[in-house]
Amino acid sequence: MNKTLWIKLAAALTVCAAAAGATFIAAAFGGASSGGTPIAFGKIGNSATGGGDPSAVLAAAVKQVPDDTIASASIVAPPAGAANPNLPWLHVAVRVPSLQNGLDVRPMWIADLVQGELAEGIGTSSDLHAGLEGSTFDAVLPDGTIVPDESGGMGDVVRGQTFSTGTASQVSSAIAAKLQGLGLKPVSIDVVAIPDAAPEVVAIAPDPTNAAENLVNIEKTLFGDPAQYEGYYLELQAPDGTPFVHASAAFRTGAGRFWIDPRYASVASEKTLGRINNDQRGRR
């Protein structure tokens, strides 16, 4: 059996295994392979419309940012060591209020949305990553300090996902109704369009522990499953107004960002993979 057939078989069996209930069993698989079927978060429907000039597509995307989050954005050559030096690379300087307690999530998400529009607009491959090598997001702190390479990357995501193009009013109304159904109290609901609708929601959770436990369900209820919007930002606050979750997703780059107050991390249904502790050093 050739490699392509193995990959197709692997993908088909993986889907079956997942559908059977979050189980993966690899008994049917052969040796190592690279790559895989790109991820689709939303419905597929758009015909490919890429092939645009990178600088022009980027300029159009940045123009849609509703505030001054993006200090600068440019197409640059990939950094040293990148595998495909001839592909475009996005460099963004992102203004962040702080790098502590998740306050970088929302600004970096805006850069993710810009990158998503860029990736969709310039490539032609079914995998958006094939047209955009990657990105570097520098953080610009309020005192002007620049933290280089704070974030950035590019997932393997399917071209041509379709997302809501509803008006801000339509999207806000829909989400307000869903917040009520979830027992969450809206603080603010804003909608950015880079280029499609992407809601940013701040809400109070009367019971933060319960909200943390059900966080993935909350996100899917508010923003759709499959994803209804091209991305979202969600901030949950405790009844006293203290944020305990900052979460975002950008479904054209695959970038998912997450911070949770450590008091709720152990019960949350959404996690960041753990930082490895090296306290065994020196035992050899």
Partner 1 sequence: MLITRSRVHVGMRQVHVGRRSAVALVATVVALVFAGVALANEVGNYQWDSNYGTRATVAVSSFSPSTNCIASASYVTSTDSNRQLQIGQLLCASGYGVDGTCSLSNNFILYVERIPATGSAVCYPHGSASGSYLLTVDDSAGSGTFYTYASGTQYEGQSGYDSSRFFSEGSEYTGSSCSGWSGSTSFSGWQYYNLALNQWQYVTSPVGPSAQCWSVSSYNGTSHSFTVSH
Contact positions with partner 1 (CB under 8 A) in 241-260:
246-251, 253-259
Among 60, 190, 216, 221, the residue binding partner 1 under the rule CB under 8 A is 216
- Cβ at position 39, least distance to partner 1 in Å: 5
Residue numbers 46-75 binding partner 1 by CB under 8 A? none
Per DSSP (E only), the strands in 183-229 are 185-193, 197-204
What string marks each residue from 79 to 98 as x (binds partner 1 by CB under 8 A) or -? xxxxx------------x--
**Binding to partner 1 (CB under 8 A): which residues in 154-183?**
154-157
Least distance from C-beta 53 to partner 1, angstroms? Answer: 25
Question: CA-based Rg of the chain, rounded to a whole angstrom?
Answer: 20
User: According to the binding rule CB under 8 A, does residue 144 interact with partner 1?
Assistant: no
Q: Which residue has the tokens 């069996």?
A: 13
Query: Per CB under 8 A, does 272 bind partner 1?
Result: yes
Contact between 31 and partner 1 per CB under 8 A: yes
Identify which of residues 1 and 27 has a Cβ nearer to partner 1 in the complex.
Answer: 27
What is the DSSP code (8-state) at residue 204? E
User: If binding is defined by CB under 8 A, does position 219 make contact with partner 1?
Assistant: yes
Cα–Cα distance measured from residue 58 to residue 251, given in angstroms and rounded to the nearest whole number: 17
Burial class (CB in 10 A: 0-12, 13-18, 19+), 86: exposed
The count of residues interacting with partner 1 (CB under 8 A) is: 93
Give the closest residue to 206 by CA, choosing from 186, 178, 176: 186
Q: Within a 10 A sphere around the Cβ of 244, how many other Cβ atoms?
A: 23
Told to check if 147 binds partner 1 by CB under 8 A, we report: yes
Report helix, strand or coil for 13: helix
